[in-house]
Amino acid sequence: MNFRRALMIAVLVLTPALAFAAVPLEAGLSFQPMTIPVGGTSVMTVEITNPNDVTAAALAAADLYPGGIFNSATPATTTCGGSINAPAGSNSFSFSGGSLAAHSTCALAITVNAAQGLWVNALDPGSVTSSSVPANAFFSTALLIVNGGPPPASGPGVSMSFAPAAIHSGKTTTLSIVLTNANASAMTGVAFATEYPSALINTPDGGSSSCGGTVAAKPGSRTLAFSGGSIPANGRCTVDVVIRGSSPGTFSVALPAGAVTSSSHPASTAGASATVTVSSSGK
């Protein structure tokens, strides 16, 4: 009987202690958005949950990020009370003086930017503390992906051809100059100029362009100039000019590297040429 009474007393004494034993705080870490370009920003959120029946008093937290992640100039915010210290340009933050009611969740939000690469930040056990309940007991990690900036702009691509590529003296052929734009933005202010061999001359038919701009191909001259053109993003256009062969031979017209320019993009990096054969009249 005495044994039973002692056991009942022990159960009554220990049960309240077991019922109210505090458990560790829970801490989660995330980046939103998870993927940003170089120069962009992401919000790093530390979500803190108090699973206890008592308030988590004197709530505090601290974190040191990987070397490629830095606080932005945007002020950090908290729904946990207290104050955050996250100086712009530093790779850490500290939080203190917070409070979190029983069975509640609050968050710390720090806006960051980062160098190009894949960055994993971690909250170690013990990073989130309180004077009234145990600190977080588990690791929490989050991935931030920082993509490189847009590829550098490229100059126009150039190709040239004669159609037909063989004519009799005194007959005509069309010189076509195809301009391409491999960029994601339209290319504007496109221009070039070239001079033909002496046996090739412009006809009264002049020139035409699907690139807009102005084609200058004066009848009887041996020059072609184009200016003010535009090539759509990831597109192409053509400048045509009708040319007469005045004497027999094989003749080439060329645009060397750098000859095609643009006010919005670099000049062409490769040259192009086209060849026409002029035979004697009647042959």
Q: What is the pLDDT of residue 28?
A: 96
Tell me the CA distances in angstroms from 184 to 77, 153, 209, 212, one per residue in order.
37, 9, 22, 19
For the segment 178-186, the average pLDDT, to the nearest whole number, is 93
With a pLDDT cut of 90, the percent of the chain lying above it is 86
With a pLDDT cut of 70, the percent of the chain lying above it is 91
For the segment 24-28, the average pLDDT, to the nearest whole number, is 97
Question: For 193-218, what is each residue's pLDDT tens digit?
Answer: 999 999 999 999 889 999 999 999 99
Two domains, one topology: 22-147 and 157-279:
yes
Is a pLDDT exceeding 60 seen at residue 8? Answer: no
Is a pLDDT exceeding 60 seen at residue 6? Answer: no
Is a pLDDT exceeding 90 seen at residue 119? Answer: yes
For the segment 100-110, the average pLDDT, to the nearest whole number, is 98
Is a pLDDT exceeding 50 seen at residue 12? Answer: no
Q: What is the pLDDT of residue 5?
A: 54
Is a pLDDT exceeding 70 seen at residue 17? Answer: no
- The pair of structure tokens assigned to 52 is 């206890």
Domain ranges in the chain are: 22-147, 157-279
Is a pLDDT exceeding 80 seen at residue 282? Answer: no
| Cα(185)–Cα(178) distance, integer angstroms | 18
**Greater pLDDT, 178 or 19:** 178
Mean pLDDT of the chain: 92
| Cα(151)–Cα(155) distance, integer angstroms | 12
For 157-279, CATH number out of 2.60.40.10, 3.20.19.10, 2.60.40.1290, 3.40.50.300 equals 2.60.40.10
CATH superfamily, domain 22-147, is ntegrin, alpha v. Chain A, domain 4 (2.60.40.1530)
Rg, C-alpha atoms of the chain: 37
Is a pLDDT exceeding 70 seen at residue 15? Answer: no
Question: For 231-272, what is each residue's pLDDT tens digit?
Answer: 999 999 999 999 999 999 999 999 999 999 999 999 999 999
Residues in the chain: 283
